[in-house]
Amino acid sequence: MPPLLTEGQIVRNHRIGRRIGHGGMGEVYEAAHVSLQRRVAIKVLHPDWCKNPDLVKRFFNEALATNLIRHPAMVEIHDHGKFPDGMPFLIMEFLEGQSLRRYRGTLSPLQVVRLAWQVASGLRAAHAKKIVHRDLKPDNIMVLRDDTVPGGQRVKILDFGLAKLAAEHQQEGAEAVKTRDGVALGTPEYMAPEQWLGASKVDGKADVYSLGVVLYETIAGAPPFPSSEGSRLRSLHLYTPPPSLADKAPETPKELVKLIEDMLIKTASERPTMDVIEQRLEAMLRSLDRSDPPLSLEPQPAPKPEPAPASSATWLPLIASAAVGFFLVSLLLLFFLLTRH
């Protein structure tokens, strides 16, 4: 397929470079600001999909969603617009890294917990803004090199194109997109049971389930239900318990295995919230990471002062007093002896 944009083309003061990604719905290009030389990524929606007004609305809602959340785990979107032919575009933060899928089956428990905590923290912030991702998967989680965070790896959550935004966000510019009842949206291998029954009424617990599948795959090397046949996969997610993660990866800490099991509970109301997941992962970090003990902010008792060593200046008055006392006693004794004779 020929590129949708040409190298050297100018888009909002950004010069297009190479194409760095493409799929059925659109393409992504590297670009740089003409004067500032800031590197960005420009994402465009394929013209065939532009004929669907709801998809165009979702495309622009992605920009609003990430900027409403405002969290380090979210990719920054700087601008958006349309070309003269109506093809929409997003100007985004340029990311250099790999998707989490590249790391499956290779990370230590500490590395998994560190990355999982960052993802959970970002999704907790999204849920606080009443935004549900609905398409969380390893390909939508980028791992970047960042020496300013423990472990040197930072995550970025991508692609809020299927995100569900609360109606109140329409006042902030969100486009109203109606998801028909009974329509399943998402990536089948990672969809929560309730998402298979219809994406219109799901809440943050669907993201909890999807993150559980992602963590299971990251540790075990494959998702719990890798079947590619649609109706079979649907049945597995709805009714079948996942294979034991402890059997597939025996070295995984028990508390991490238990957390993932809780995230993969079939009934949404019985799963923990993303806020609770973040807290449990934070507790695991404290127990697993001994390289940098936490700084105690509790006030410490002041040390008791040590007694100063006695000096010669301290002893002189005592010696003088003892000498005077001895002299007086001697005089009294002598007087007593003389008076008796």
Is residue 175 within 8 Å of residue 155, measured between CB atoms? no
Residue 135 among the catalytic residues: yes
Pick from 288, 182, 198, 191: which is nearest to 237 by CA? 191
Alpha-carbon distances of 263 from 39, 45, 192, 298, rounded to whole Å: 37, 33, 10, 35
DSSP 213-239: HHHHHHHHSS-S-----HHHHHHHHHH
Rounded to whole angstroms, the Cα distance separating 18 from 307 reads 75
Query: Per the structure block, which two tokens stand in for 310?
Result: 């006695």
Q: Which of 48, 79, 135, 262 is flagged as catalytic?
A: 135
For residue 248, the surrounding DSSP H or E stretch is helix 245-248
Packed helices 254-263 and 274-288: angle between N→C axes, nearest 10 degrees = 170
Catalytic positions are: 135
